[in-house]
Amino acid sequence: MGNPKKLLNVLAGNTEKTPPVWMMRQAGRYLPEYREVRKNAGGFLDLCYNPDFATEVTLQPIRRFGFDAAILFADILLVPQAMGMKLWFAEGEGPRLEPVSDLQAIEALKPAEAIHDTLAPVYETVKRLAAELPKETTLIGFAGAPWTVATYMVAGRGSPDQAVARQMMFGDEVAFSRLIDKVTEATIEYLARQVQAGAEVIKLFDSWAGTLSGSYFEKYALKPAVTIATELKRRFPGLPVIGFPRGAGGGYVQFADAGCFDGLALDSSVPAGWARDVLQPKLAVQGNLDPMHLITGGDALENETRRLVDILGEGPFIFNLGHGITPQGKPENVEKMLSVIRG
């Protein structure tokens, strides 16, 4: 007899006849009800830090689609903001931070134990969600992985190749390693508070893991993620952790072999057959429909959804996307995807 919560049952290594399903960025701009709340909330950060609004937008896709999991509505850059960095969102351009560029600036960042005052509203949102979600729905807490968060802290913004962060990584390894350590410590404390508030699963998003290679991947993507997962499991025995080293290719095997992850989220480039043969014998896999299908719909959406369920559904499998649903995604295509998975 497995866990009645399907997602937790799969993360425990079991197979569900119908795989549990949720979507990255499932609370978001593709939903008219989200856009309405966003309008009333004001800015994006106002939405993140207001437990009334953040709880509501987290619950919206659960009400509409009955997903098997809800993921806390927040942003990966709340942690650097809580560490003392200035954060703002430029309309149409995404997040901006005032960059840290040397060891002195990095040492001036607040220590892990000083972040909680800023992040208290996020913990309140988790607490409310734990009380309000349907009993069969799993609550996922999350954070950005240290490498991805550090790339924004060094460059002040996102970029496809993370050149600024990699220049510091290669050119001033002492400073960059210190930054990774400080972010790792803060992330552990942040996620521990989410678990204390009611999060049942933790997911670690390393959106830029694919820009690292060789020993740098091991040092700055794998090692910090393992440190975080291991420490959380020490504090909260039995806590499931999902890793997402997007773009890691063969590096997914290193994550699967680390022994501290219960699930791996696969980006859209990971072949399903390879994941079934190489990763799934070791842990649950999650993914990995291309989000573009939720814009275009049609037979391609149905066929690809069915293909993923056929290939991965014989083992521990959580249906998800290879990355977050985009604002252009259509709710009716989400309905169609769900009808194929559940039908």
CATH number of the domain where residue 144 is located: 3.20.20.210
β strands within 38-178, DSSP E: 69-71, 87-90, 94-97, 138-144
* pLDDT for the residue 154: 97
Q: Work out the percent of the chain whose per-residue pLDDT is above 70.
A: 100
d(C-alpha 316, C-alpha 313), whole Å: 7
Range of the domain at 89: 6-342
Q: Is 252 a catalytic residue?
A: no
d(C-alpha 333, C-alpha 339), whole Å: 10
Q: How confident is the model at residue 93 (pLDDT cuts 50, 70, 90)?
A: confident
Domain count, the chain: 1
Query: Cβ neighbours of residue 12 under 8 Å, at least 6 residues apart?
Result: 2, 3, 240, 262
Q: Is 276 a catalytic residue?
A: no
Average pLDDT over residues 100-120: 98
pLDDT score of 49 more than 80: yes
Indicate the pTM of the whole model. Answer: 0.97
Catalytic residue among 29, 64, 96, 178: 29
Catalytic residue among 30, 49, 123, 152: 152
Q: Is 246 a catalytic residue?
A: no
* pLDDT for the residue 156: 95
121 phi, psi to nearest 5 deg? -65, -30
β strands within the chain, DSSP E: 69-71, 87-90, 94-97, 138-144, 201-206, 241-245, 263-265, 284-289, 317-321
Average pLDDT over residues 316-325: 98
Q: Is 29 a catalytic residue?
A: yes
Average pLDDT over residues 242-254: 98
d(C-alpha 304, C-alpha 322), whole Å: 12
Tokens 């689609």 locate to 65
Catalytic residue among 30, 34, 38, 123: 38
Average pLDDT over residues 234-247: 98
* pLDDT for the residue 1: 58
Catalytic residue among 25, 166, 193, 246: 25
The answer to the question of residue 1 being in a domain is: no
